[in-house]
Amino acid sequence: MGFSISNAALRLVSGAFILNSGIGKLHLPPEHAAGLQASAQRVIPQAGKLTPEQFGRSLSASEIALGVFLLTPFVPSRLAGLALGVFSGGLLATYLKTPGMTEPGSIRPTPAGTAMSKDIWLAGIAAALVFHRRRPARIRHTGLPSQNPG
């Protein structure tokens, strides 16, 4: 398995950010939870079956769990990247499906959409974690003749 400083850095940055976001949502006012729920319903219609309070608690718990998952060192980076990819995909789908967030006929953000569009960095981190390839171990040259026949 091994340890990669680059993967650790990516996981630390994204995990700490998401964990902090989830902790910040622990005591969401119902009207703020309802606004987040309305946005989430555009991508996940089943979110509308919850009360705003239930949705806020679920969102907070999900973000805290994902943040901890990313920060846990024994979780394989590819698995952490897949989880982050699902989460960031949901954020990006919400951005794209929310009216007024993008320029007409484009994915470019409007001034109102800039705050949501910046979450694309999480998708980039997810891709880096999933597709990171380890370099093969270097063969040390000993100066001795090869022992391999043929």
3-state DSSP of 65-103: HHHHHHHCCCCCHHHHHHHHHHHHHHHHHHHHHCCCCEC
The model's pTM is 0.83
Q: pLDDT of 58-86, one tens digit each?
A: 999 999 999 999 999 999 999 999 999 99
Query: What are the mean pLDDT values of the chain's consecutive 10-residue runs (150 residues total)?
Result: 83 96 96 94 94 96 97 95 96 93 93 90 95 69 58
Q: pLDDT of 86-95, one tens digit each?
A: 999 999 999 9
